[in-house]
Amino acid sequence: MAWRGWAQRGWGCGQGWGASVGGRSCEELTAVLTPPQLLGRRFNFFIQQKCGFRKAPRKVEPRRSDTGTSGEAYKRSALIPPVEETVFYPSPYPIRSLIKPLFFTVGFTGCAFGSAAIWQYESLKSRVQSYFDGIKADWLDSIRPQKEGDFRKEINKWWNNLSDGQRTVTGIIAANVLVFCLWRVPSLQRTMIRYFTSNPASKVLCSPMLLSTFSHFSLFHMAANMYVLWSFSSSIVNILGQEQFMAVYLSAGVISNFVSYVGKVATGRYGPSLGASGAIMTVLAAVCTKIPEGRLAIIFLPMFTFTAGNALKAIIAMDTAGMILGWKFFDHAAHLGGALFGIWYVTYGHELIWKNREPLVKIWHEIRTNGPKKGGGSK
């Protein structure tokens, strides 16, 4: 019965023995070791057991957030929400997934700068009235009995002591804090991943390009970005003005996300991105380009200082290397896109876009001036 034990151990032609043993083929060994009464009907079954092993068919699974590795990579990063269970379905024609984001980027940027031009017009128009309102308020405060420990008065005093840039970014910081709190609501996780993370493999492509600019999952990520924004707010608003800064900041968030889309489609590394880093890189690059001799320092190492120009070169070099080498802790394509947009805007974009806003402002002025007369009658 030695042949039975040998068969039960599963030593077939492809398992340990090779295609032949001792110069004999598989069929010859089988004929020698098998008793004559088992030849015939059982012979074929014996050959199939020993020479006909087949591998189980592989299951076809939908693609995860990357081509096999990004799910693990994003899981290791504390800056990204836990989306390892989220399944994305990239388009079979990935270049087509960039068409809608491209039109959205161009359209949103145009609307942002157009709205900023109208906003500036309205601000200039109401500045005189605000001046007289301020004089009246100061006079009323002088004759009104003052209350000790008035909380509202302390808030107004703190607000008035802020620079124009700090007052401008206060709303941006408040929006980021609100979205950060929404990430902590378990019932909103799917909605937050859908609309507040940008991913070219997602079904929603356009609105996350803007909303993800205000979205942070990590407290450290948000704190670092908001600190940099607060630190550079006075300089960037002095350079561009309040209205132009808001247009540049919002456009930078959308443009940097579009560059991120292009990078992910080109490399096939699909995955979610979020954070204000792309827009803040635009602010940082614009200030460093405009004031390259300014001195900067790292918050944890204040004893080491360097020029703004050298800092910008180092950041661009690091993000370029990260994009080429496939580093996944940050979205280096979004960082690089934001930095290049900031450099381009302060060098050429201000002259090409903001200096040519007069036709739009004239149209708006005519609408504001002649609009009420068309609706009313004359006696």
CB-based contacts of 293, cutoff 8 Å, min separation 6: 307, 308, 309
Q: Considering only residues 144 and 297, tell me which one the structure prediction assigns the higher pLDDT.
A: 297
Q: Considering only residues 48 and 283, tell me which one the structure prediction assigns the higher pLDDT.
A: 283
Q: What mean pLDDT value characterizes the chain?
A: 77
Q: What is the pLDDT of residue 141?
A: 58
Whole-prediction pTM: 0.72
**Rounded CA separation 277/255 (Å):** 12
Quick one: tokens of 363?
């149209």
Q: Over the stretch 134-182, which tens digit does the pLDDT of each residue have?
A: 665 555 555 555 555 577 778 888 888 888 889 999 999 999 999 999 9
Is there a contact between 65 and 88 (Cβ–Cβ < 8 Å)? yes
The phi and psi torsions of 331 (rounded to 5 degrees) equal -90, 85
**Rounded CA separation 85/76 (Å):** 14
Residue 343 has pLDDT above 80, yes or no: yes
CB-based contacts of 324, cutoff 8 Å, min separation 6: none
Catalytic residue among 216, 277, 350, 378: 277
Residue 113 has pLDDT above 50, yes or no: yes
Q: Which of 40-44, 237-241, 287-291 has the lowest mean pLDDT?
A: 40-44
Q: Where are the alpha helices (DSSP H) in 268-307?
A: 277-290
Q: Which of 181, 297, 289 is nearest to 231 (CA)?
A: 297
**Rounded CA separation 9/6 (Å):** 5
Which domains does the chain carry? Answer: 95-135+168-370 (1.20.1540.10)
pLDDT tier, 234 (very low <50, low <70, confident <90, very high otherwise): very high
Q: Considering only residues 322 and 77, tell me which one the structure prediction assigns the higher pLDDT.
A: 322
Q: Over the stretch 167-224, which tens digit does the pLDDT of each residue have?
A: 999 999 999 999 999 999 999 999 999 999 999 888 899 999 999 999 999 899 999 9
Is there a contact between 272 and 204 (Cβ–Cβ < 8 Å)? no
What average pLDDT does this structure show over 252-274? 90
CA-to-CA dists, residue 111 to 107, 108, 118, 198, 280, angstroms: 6, 5, 11, 21, 20
Return the exposure string of 149-161: e unless at least 16 CB atoms fall within 10 Å of the residue's CB, then b.
Answer: eeeeeeeeeeeee
Q: What is the pLDDT of residue 17?
A: 43
Q: Which of 45, 16, 15 is nearest to 30 (CA)?
A: 45
Q: Which of 212, 227, 221 is nearest to 175 (CA)?
A: 212
Provide the total of helices (H) and of strands (E) in the chain, helices listed first: 16, 4
Q: Over the stretch 11-56, which tens digit does the pLDDT of each residue have?
A: 444 444 444 444 454 445 444 444 544 444 444 444 444 444 444 5
Residue 93 has pLDDT above 80, yes or no: no
The burial of 374, by beta-carbon neighbours within 10 Å (0-12 exposed, 13-18 middle, 19 or more buried), is given as: exposed
Quick one: tokens of 158?
């703190």
Q: What is the pLDDT of residue 90?
A: 57
Q: What is the pLDDT of residue 147?
A: 52
Residue 64 has pLDDT above 70, yes or no: no
What is the SS3 assignment for 334? helix
Q: Which of 200-209, 241-250, 252-261 has the lowest mean pLDDT?
A: 200-209
Q: Considering only residues 260 and 78, tell me which one the structure prediction assigns the higher pLDDT.
A: 260
Catalytic residue among 335, 350, 365, 378: 335
Q: What percent of the chain has pLDDT over 70?
A: 68
Q: Which of 38-42, 64-68, 87-91, 253-257 has the lowest mean pLDDT?
A: 64-68
The phi and psi torsions of 67 (rounded to 5 degrees) equal -80, 60
Q: Considering only residues 185 and 73, tell me which one the structure prediction assigns the higher pLDDT.
A: 185
Quick one: tokens of 239?
């350079």
Give catalytic status of residue 260 as yes or no. no
Q: What is the pLDDT of residue 302?
A: 73
Alpha carbon 260 to its chain centroid, in Å, reads 7
Amino acid at 103: F
Q: What is the pLDDT of residue 289?
A: 94
Residue 94 has pLDDT above 50, yes or no: yes
Give the number of other CB atoms < 10 A from CB of residue 51: 15
Residue 84 has pLDDT above 60, yes or no: no
Give catalytic status of residue 277 as yes or no. yes
Return the exposure string of 217-243: e unless at least 16 CB atoms fall within 10 Å of the residue's CB, then b.
Answer: bbeebbebbbebbebbbbbbbebbbeb
Quick one: tokens of 354?
């903001």
Q: What is the pLDDT of residue 134?
A: 63
Q: Considering only residues 70 and 129, tell me which one the structure prediction assigns the higher pLDDT.
A: 129
Q: What is the pLDDT of residue 259?
A: 94
